[in-house]
Amino acid sequence: MHLLVPIGFFIALVLAIPTVGLSLVAFFVLKFVIDSQGASSVLAAAFNAERTDETVVAPFVNNAAIRKFFNKYGTTEKKYDFFFGAGMTFLGYVRLSGEEIVVLVVKSRDATLVSTYELPYSFGNDLLSLMQRKAFIDEIATAVGRPAAAAS
């Protein structure tokens, strides 16, 4: 399933000459739709994880869909941290149901896991609050297995 996008792009590229580029346009429209549906799946999983306070398994979601989710719903300037821990790991602040939480998305070969973390207190926009936000995210990232060299 994860090879579908590269294979689809190759087919669209081969067909681009006889179709005057229409196959490439069709490919990118289809990719946009797939990424949007994937971002919606991550959003639904995040809502479920927040409501049940448990990790939720999402259906196959590609990396572009996860990035799209964080870019759309992220609340900080840097929308997410990315590192390799138990799998490809995305971690960032997101506003769901009117409150800000931390969403953790771990994508492995077999599954996409979505977890949420409530903030210990409400952060402001001053320098000290920004440092506390970073420290809270780093604490979660270390707990889920971010290598020490990746900490920044």
Q: What is the pLDDT of residues 129-150, one digit of tens each?
A: 778 888 888 888 888 776 654 5
Residues 64, 35 contacting (CB under 8 angstroms): yes
pTM of the model: 0.78
Query: How many C-beta neighbours within 10 Å does residue 18 have?
Result: 8
Name the token pair of 121.
Answer: 């207190």
Task: Give the chain's end-to-end CA distance (angstroms, integer).
Answer: 33
Scanning the structure block, which residue is given the tokens 């602040």?
93
The residues, ordered by sequence, that sit 6+ positions from 61 with a Cβ below 8 Å of its Cβ are 38, 41, 42, 105, 107, 112
79 beta partners: none
pLDDT tens, residue by residue, 8-51: 777 777 776 776 667 777 778 888 988 889 899 999 999 998 88
